[in-house]
Structures are given as C-alpha cells and as structure tokens.
Amino acid sequence: MADAKPLYDTYNRAPMLFERGEGVWLETQGGERYLDFAAGIAVNSLGHAHPHLVEALKGQAEKLWHLSNIHEIPGQTRLAERLAAVTFADKVFFTNSGAEALECAIKTARRHFYVNGQPERFRIITMEGAFHGRTLATIAAGGQAKYLEGFGPKVEGFDQVPFGDLEAIKAAVSDETAAILVEPVQGEGGVRPLPKEFLRALRELCNDQGILLILDEVQSGVGRTGKLFAHEWAGITPDLMAIAKGIGGGFPFGACLSTREAADGMTVGTHGTTYGGNPLAMAVGNAVLDVILEDSFLAHVNDIALVLSQGLASLKDRYPALIEDIRGTGLLLGIKCAKSNMDLVMAMRNEHLLAVPAGDNVVRLLPPLIVTAEEARDALSRIEAALDMLSSKDTQTDRMQ
C-alpha cells in the first residue's frame, strides 16, 4: 500500500525501526541491537552519539543556530583554516551535501577557464560506474542511465570514458576540456579503487594539458581509507576536491576545497547558499576534525582495516562459491559476490549486521572509524554465519534439483 503513504516512494526501506545508537551499535524500538557496518553510508564516521560531537552540537545549539552567509559564521573560518592546513587546499566553500560540493567544484572549474579567457573550456571527463550525486548536473556527471532516465535532456558538458582507461581519457581530452573528475575509490560503483599509478598519470596528464583534476572524496575522504584523504596514498594532490559524508559525522554538510588558482573565478556574487556552512554544521565539523586529527587515529583505522581485510580474505578462501573477491582500502571494503549481493546483505541483516549493496554485485562494509578490533571480529563471525546460511541453502537447492 505504498500509495497510502505521504512520502515519495523513492526508497525501498528496510523494516527495522531504529530509535537510538551508540558507537558501532544501533538499537530498534523493540530493543534489538545491530552492528552497524553501513554507518549511514560512510557518514557516521565516529559512530553514533559520539560524546564529543554531542557536546559540540548541544553547545552550539544553545548559542546560535543560523546566520546568513552575509555574516562571518562561527566556526566557518576556523574549519576552513584547519582543512587548508591539512590538505592541498587554499580555499573552501561549505555546502549542505555531497552533490552540492560537486556542483561547486564543477562551477569553480568552468568559471576558472571563463575568467582566464578560455570560456570554451567547460567540458568535464568522468568515468563509467561513477556516482557524484542526484542533482541534474551530478547525474549527468555520473552518467548512469538508471539515474538519468526520464529527467529530460542530460546537462551538457560531461564526457564519459570506461573505468580505469587512461588511453580513453587521453583521447577524450579536447580544446573544450576543463577538467577530469574521478573518485579515487568508486563507492556506489562497487568499491573500485583507482591504482596509485593511474592517479599519478591523471595528475601528469592534467598538468600537461593545462586542465584541472577534480577528486570526489565524498565517500573516500576524512580518514575512511586510512589516510585523511584517499589521494594521499598516490602522493598526488588535486586542484579541486568535493567532500561530505564523514566530515559531518551525521550532521549534513559538505565542502568544496580548491587551490587559490582554480578558485580565481569565484568572486563575490558568483555562487552562494543559504544554509551551507551553518553554525551547527561547523561546530560538528570542527569536533569531527578534533578526533580524526588526533595522533593515533589513522593508525587505528589501518589496524582495524587489516583485521577486517585478513578476515574477509580467509572467508573468501573458505566460501569460493559465494565470494569472488575482496576489494577496497582502509574501512571502505567490498565483498564481490559470486551470487546475488542482495542475498548476502539480507543474510547479514539476519545476523544483525548492517552493510550496503553497491554496483558490480558488491556488498560494501563501511563501519564507523572508531570500530574496535573486537567489534571487527564480531562482524566477521556474523558474516561467516550469513555465508554458512547461504551455502546450506545452496546445497538444499542442489539436492532438490
């Protein structure tokens, strides 16, 4: 009876009703506990109800909720300075979401060439399997037919090439190209990391051609892969970068980071937002950074990533009929399934472990970065139980045939 509900029918919602969360755990109204390895799709980077974030949000809520961007906003300059200090960026624009951060990056790139006497350079090269959001421009950038269908003419100016195909990218660069836009690790596309050498080659190509490199680190950023940003593994820097998800720890916000040069067209009045960089968001973002920038934090992410990836590799050896491959970096891990990925997500849900399906028949594991080794091992035994259940089901069907 979907029609009886006043909400849009755009989501196929899971039946559990969650009421509260703590750390890596979610609890339903009925008091059932689930181990949350979905983390709101890489959003709850510090888990649920992290005391430092709760305190930051409550503290700000008692002072000031909202101010127009015609004023200096508490926390905005500080967060921008801190982000600039730990990245390639000189300039930051705050948004409410990942897609808006991408929109800002796209506009910044186009505008850069516009003010530098090359207005014809507005096209952006993207890769198959990409996901950059659900606005009209970002569905055009992502290029996936299932998200474009029925929404009118595709926004002009995006050229798509096959995943990981450097020659195709080189061939696609023209006099009208402004930028190349990629995710260092495709998230929705099936946890597909771009090799380090590939990212280095892209950086070199952009330098040679005088075009901009835009990275979408909305999912892979803010500690998720064991570095503050995934591109650091390749030892390169982009000209522009979109972030969101993990930086808010559950409070909705994103940011577009830029070099001074790339942002040279973004002068007074060229872009804006009512809510972006809101005081509440900035208080939480600064609190997230307090924790993620602590000395041992990323080492912890890498330690747990090792526990998980080794455990998953051994499950792959023991269940070759169900697992084809384990992929990903840090705590952005994917189980490439031999059978249906949805069946595995459901079987894991049965074991009270939450994960997210992704493209290419993959199950994504994105635990909060504060997950402990014990909780990682707990998740592994739940995954094993789910695999056991699926393989005994398979044996039964074989017998019936």
Ligand X SMILES: *Cc1c(COP(=O)(O)O)cnc(C)c1O
Binding residue positions for N(2)-acetyl-L-ornithine: 134, 273
> How many Cβ atoms are within 10 Å of 50's Cβ, its own excluded?
23
Task: State in Å, rounded, how far the first CA of the chain is from the last one.
Answer: 36
Q: Does 181 bind ligand X (CB under 6 A)?
A: no
Torsion sign (Cα): 35, 40, 46, 52? negative
What gap in Å lies between CA 373 and CA 109, rounded to an integer? 42
Binding residues: 98-99, 131, 134, 216-219, 273-274
Q: Does 369 bind ligand X (CB under 6 A)?
A: no
Q: Look at residues 350, 370, 135, 332 and name the one whose alpha carbon lies nearest to residue 250.
A: 370
Shortest spacing between CB 55 and ligand X, in angstroms:
25
Closest to ligand X by CB, 60 vs 219, is 219
Q: Does 131 bind ligand X (CB under 6 A)?
A: yes
What gap in Å lies between CA 248 and CA 283, rounded to an integer? 9
What gap in Å lies between CA 249 and CA 220, rounded to an integer? 14
One residue of 97, 126, 144, 177 binding ligand X per CB under 6 A: 97
One residue of 80, 89, 99, 106 binding ligand X per CB under 6 A: 99
Closest to ligand X by CB, 315 vs 362, is 362
Residue type, 205: L
Closest to ligand X by CB, 218 vs 380, is 218
One residue of 40, 75, 129, 133 binding ligand X per CB under 6 A: 133
Closest to ligand X by CB, 225 vs 323, is 225
Shortest spacing between CB 324 and ligand X, in angstroms:
23
Kindly state the number of chain residues that form the binding site for ligand X, as judged by CB under 6 A. 15
Which residues ranging from 213 to 242 are in contact with ligand X (CB under 6 A)?
216, 218-219
Shortest spacing between CB 187 and ligand X, in angstroms:
4
Q: Does 104 bind ligand X (CB under 6 A)?
A: no
DSSP label of 94: E
> How many Cβ atoms are within 10 Å of 157's Cβ, its own excluded?
16
From 18-26, 128-136, 280-288, 305-313, span contacting ligand X (CB under 6 A) = 128-136
Closest to ligand X by CB, 39 vs 102, is 102
Shortest spacing between CB 364 and ligand X, in angstroms:
10
Closest to ligand X by CB, 148 vs 338, is 148
Shortest spacing between CB 295 and ligand X, in angstroms:
28
Shortest spacing between CB 178 and ligand X, in angstroms:
19
Closest to ligand X by CB, 98 vs 311, is 98
Closest to ligand X by CB, 98 vs 359, is 98
Residues in the chain: 401
Which alpha helices (H) appear in 44-128, and where do they start and end?
A: 51-61, 76-86, 98-115
Phi, psi (deg, nearest 5) at residue 93 = -120, 125
Task: State which residue has the least CB distance to ligand X.
Answer: 98
What gap in Å lies between CA 73 and CA 275, rounded to an integer? 11
From 97-105, 196-204, 255-263, 381-389, span contacting ligand X (CB under 6 A) = 97-105
Q: 17 is written with which tokens?
A: 């009703």
Rounded to 5°, the CA angle 266-271-273 comes to 140
Closest to ligand X by CB, 87 vs 322, is 87
332-337 and 323-329 strand pairing: antiparallel
From 73-81, 112-120, 212-220, 257-265, span contacting ligand X (CB under 6 A) = 212-220
Q: Look at residues 164, 154, 69, 156 and name the one whose alpha carbon lies nearest to residue 106.
A: 156
CB neighbour list of residue 69: distance below 8 Å, 6 or more residues apart: 272, 273, 274, 276, 277
Binding residues for pyridoxal 5'-phosphate: 98-99, 131, 216-219, 274
* Sequence-distant contacts of 66-71: CB under 8 A, at least 24 apart: 66/275, 66/278, 66/279, 66/280, 67/278, 67/279, 68/274, 69/272, 69/273, 69/274, 69/276, 69/277
Q: Does 244 bind ligand X (CB under 6 A)?
A: yes
Site string for ligand X, 279-318 (x = CB under 6 A): ----------------------------------------
Binding site for ligand X (CB under 6 A): 97-99, 102, 131-133, 183, 187-188, 216, 218-219, 244-245
